[in-house]
Amino acid sequence: MTKLIEFLDHNERAALAKRSMPRWSDPMLATLTEERFNHKDWIFERKLDGERVLVFKKDASVELFSRNRKNISKTYPELVERLEEEKIARCILDGEIVAFSGKITSFSRLQQRMQIKKSVEARKSDVAVFLYVFDILYFDGYATEDLALRRRKEILRRALRFEGSLRFTPHRNEQGVAFYQQACHKGWEGIIAKDANAAYAHSRSRNWLKFKCSKRQELVVGGWTEPGGQRRGFGALLVGYYQEKKLVYAGKVGTGYNGETLRRLHRQLVSHERSTSPFDRGEDTGSTVHYCTPKLVAEIGFNEWTEDGRLRHPRFIGLRRDKEASEVVREG
């Protein structure tokens, strides 16, 4: 048994499963909550505004995957190279790739890298990226997912050298309310509360909870409006979410775009254009509308939901490639 786990007691070692490394492992997902609390058995991490990633390191090979199993290694070649330097032979890591705008992680800035599909182009980008790792699911012949989170994080800290673009995700113990207030004051997206004694669940779970400072969620793009005045590309996106397999219209999003985003996104919209509306109910879109097959998923910030189920003061943050449109539901 590797020296990395010598500090575990007898029962914890028994919880380790000796097995070959799986080709895939579904990520654990957090549940949104409006509750804020302190608890001695919970830890609290900064909610990073980036792209979720699962790292599969198998000897000399390192691959990065989004949470919906898309290989994104060529978008972040410097992170692949950094992980190749690690001595650990085989492991599965869970983390978040981020870019910074000042001291704050910025999904909008990361979008400039997420659009790149070739390693050569990615290396030329001036958007520096970092990988924050917060969990380890497998290492050198052992599955760790049945261990308590606190123990998994101890193994993780011992397993890798966290320097340069590879970083350990720190956490606070017990004091979730104060940390949440600090996060909002600093302009962070929020924090993640995690049950320190829980195993890793390969699904959405209430053992991980999202405390968001501002309202944001993923929504499906179902169409767009014509631009007005001097604007190019499109005017606003038509967005919605699924409820009992029906696409429910949630409103128009007309702000948050720069010129390059308008041009690039308009090309994508046109490639999915269709003549009929994809929305099953709630639609009130006007006459200058184009429809598209609901494949694109956008991250949208907004103030609140109105009584009739529309977004109030929505703004575009970026496209997500790590979630299927059919998975998008209303969170709050």
| Residues annotated catalytic, as ranges | 47
Cα separation, 191 vs 198, in Å, equals: 18
Both tokens of residue 15?
């919880």
Rounded CA gap, 224 and 212, in Å? 28
DSSP string of 232-299, one letter each residue: -S-S-EEEEEEETTEEEEEEEE--S--HHHHHHHHHHHHHTEESS----B-----SSEEEE-S--EEE
Token pair 């003061």: residue: 313
167: nearest Cα among 123, 218, 113, 128: 128
Helices (H), 32-169: 77-84, 107-114, 119-124, 149-159
Q: Are 211 and 188 in contact (CB under 8 A)?
A: no
